[in-house]
Amino acid sequence: MPPSKPESNGPCLRDVVAQSVQQYLDDMGPTPPDDLHDRIIREVEQPLIETVLKHTGGNQSRAARILGMTRSTLRTRIRRYGL
């Protein structure tokens, strides 16, 4: 698959994720984890929520809108990650 066009001057998020996953698989060698999807979601979701909350000055309603989830779901994730 050819790299997608960047939206700005840097690489697009899709390309960065693809490179990171490929590097992770290369580093794991012949024994990659069976739960790769769940592992990636756990690793990405916490800093995503933290960054959006910081961007909104802690406003959970705005953060939930940006993230495309309900405020209730956001609050559950905040508790889950101890944010």
The dihedral sign for the CA sequence 75, 79, 81, 83:
positive
The yes-or-no verdict on residue 1 having pLDDT over 90 is no
Structural domains present in the chain:
35-83 (1.10.10.60)
Phi and psi, residue 35, nearest 5°: -110, 40
**Range list of H helices, 1-83:** 13-28, 36-55, 60-67, 71-81
What digits encode the pLDDT tens for the residues 55-71?
Answer: 999 999 999 999 999 99
Give mean pLDDT, residues 36-60.
94
